[in-house]
Amino acid sequence: MLGLMDIEWYKRKKELQPEQLDKTSEKRSIGQTSHGNSKMNKLRYATALAGIAAIALPSSVGYSSAEEYKIGAAMALTGALAPYDQPGLAGFKLGIKDLNAKGGIGGLATVTLEVIDTRSDTAATVNAAQKLIDDGVKFLITPGDADPSIAAGQIGQAAGIPMLNLAGSPSLTPAVGDYMFISYPSDTVQSAALASYASETGYKTAFLLKSPDSAYTSKFPDYFGETFKKKGGSVVGEASYSMGQPDFSAVVSQIKGLTPQPDVIMTTAYEPDFPAFIKQLRGAGVKIPVIESDAIGTPTVYGLGSVVDGVVQSSAGFPTPGSGMEAFNKRFKEETGHDAETSYEAAGYEWAQLLDAAARKAGSLEPAKIRDALASLEDVQTVLGKVTYAGTERVALRDVAMIRIEGGKPTFVKLYRPTKEEIPNP
């Protein structure tokens, strides 16, 4: 997903005022969020997390065990990463609640959870990870961003603690080591799926819009271009932008002046850059199709109106009729009183399912055995589909959903499952 430079830029532009690091188990409403979330969304997640918070206590569910398996979550409840970590945490808490109600992790122990707000800050993430490990956690959840996850992950690696997160950067696992796993569709997996969609749609030429300010906004489009070329397409132009720039007129003029026009524009820009770009692009009369990444899957982007109609984005899943995600969304609404608004809620719930599968395969909760079992999982059914780690570098091989925005709502296009040969090397 996003990178450290993204966060630092956001802090400078928005002058975030981080709260005091919460060093206790999270049993309160979450704080203010940023990155375009509305006040209603903040209140909804405050309610959701507070409503599910009691799952950290074994007495809150029907199952109890003499054994306890403590998980630590160093996640962003505030700051630039909150729109991703908040829903992920809400889903994870529900997953733990359901897991405990069915006998605990692997049928071996009741799961408890300690959460520390990292404030979307790398130094705070390091402190949080160390505090959680000192408190005796046996598994660690790190933020949905490679940079703080690498920093926290190196602490977890040294302590021999297995880890999961929402970050999608393929550089994460080699930078940390064999205790770090990526569950969310990685940048390389998503880019391969987007390239397959573009090729199948009949696009022959693509224009890439990139920012050098982060790996997510620079390397992801390159990964797409690499796979797109392998499928017979060609990249006919590129443009660069600085994160936070309000004026895209030069980029729009460059695109408008291309002869012939490219078949498609691919970018991984997100809020506030993507809204600014797409408004100015369509305002200039440029109707070239645009394909995007998972980071625009937010209520803010969906609420932009007709300018985003037809934009296609990648995602971890979609609640098609009869799917596991549809069932999860129903369960989530029953528990929290509001709809799951992104795929991150289901992605967080999935962590509990993957941990349970690993514990059952290992027959043990010893960290090294959980690590080995996770690494050998193959076609594990989750609420988002089947997940495989076997034969990968601890980066999940899984489906990627293509979603088209129409009338302010995401609509399902198709599921893609890139082969190992299609996925570019990071």
Q: Convert the pLDDT of each residue in 21-31 to its tens digit.
A: 333 333 222 22
3-state helix vs strand vs coil in the chain, percent to 5: 45, 20, 40
Averaged pLDDT for residues 60-78: 76
What DSSP character marks residue 298?
S
Query: Residue 20 has what DSSP assignment?
Result: P
Place of tokens 């989530």: 332
Q: What is the pLDDT of residue 425?
A: 87
Give the whole-angstrom CA distance, residue 313 versus residue 405. Answer: 8
- In angstroms, the CA 115 to CA 118 distance is 9
**Residues 143 and 118: beta-carbon distance below 8 Å:** yes
**Confidence label for 55 from pLDDT (cuts 50, 70 and 90):** very low
Which pLDDT score, from 0 to 100, does residue 45 have? 53
409 exposure class (CB count in 10 Å sphere: 0-12, 13-18, 19+)? exposed
List residues bridging with 238 in a β-sheet: 208
For residue 61, pLDDT beyond 60: no
| pLDDT at res. 66 | 53
Q: Is 379 exposed, middle or buried (0-12, 13-18, 19+ CB in 10 A)?
A: exposed
Q: What pLDDT score was predicted for residue 242?
A: 97
Q: Please give the Cα distance from 360 to 105 (Å, whole number).
A: 8
Match 């021999």 to its residue by tokens.
Answer: 160
* Cβ–Cβ under 8 Å, residues 377 and 362: no
Rounded mean pLDDT, 383-389? 96
Over range 264-274, report the average pLDDT. Answer: 95
Per-residue pLDDT for 9 more than 50? Answer: no
pLDDT at 382 over 50: yes
Q: Are strands 139-142 and 110-117 parallel, antiparallel or unpaired?
A: unpaired
Classify residue 33 by its DSSP letter.
Answer: B
Asked whether the CA dihedral 327, 331, 332, 333 is positive or negative, the reply is: positive
Q: What number of residues does the chain have?
A: 426
Chain mean pLDDT for the chain: 87
pLDDT in tens, 242-255: 999 999 999 999 99
pTM flag (> 0.85): no
Closest C-alpha among 206, 190, 191, 155 to residue 176? 155
Q: Is 24 exposed, middle or buried (0-12, 13-18, 19+ CB in 10 A)?
A: exposed
Q: What does the DSSP 8-state code read for residue 232?
A: T
CA distance 345 to 335: 12
- Mean pLDDT of the region 81-101: 95
User: Is the CB of residue 294 less than 8 Å from the CB of residue 384?
Assistant: no
The C-alpha atoms of residue 313 and residue 291 are separated, in whole angstroms, by 6
Q: What is the mean pLDDT of residues 361-376?
A: 98
Report the alpha-carbon distance of residue 347 to residue 325 in Å, rounded: 10
Backbone angles phi, psi at 237, to 5 degrees: 180, 160
For residue 19, the 8-state DSSP code is: P
Which of the four pLDDT bands, split at 50, 70 and 90, describes residue 141? very high
Coil, helix or strand for 172? helix
CA distance 417 to 402: 11
CA distance 229 to 235: 7
291 forms beta bridges with 266, 312
pLDDT tens, residue by residue, 36-46: 333 334 445 54
Q: Pull the structure tokens for residue 213.
A: 């300010």
pLDDT band at 198, cuts 50/70/90? Answer: very high
Please, which pLDDT band fits residue 1 given cuts at 50, 70 and 90?
low
How much is the pLDDT for 335? 95
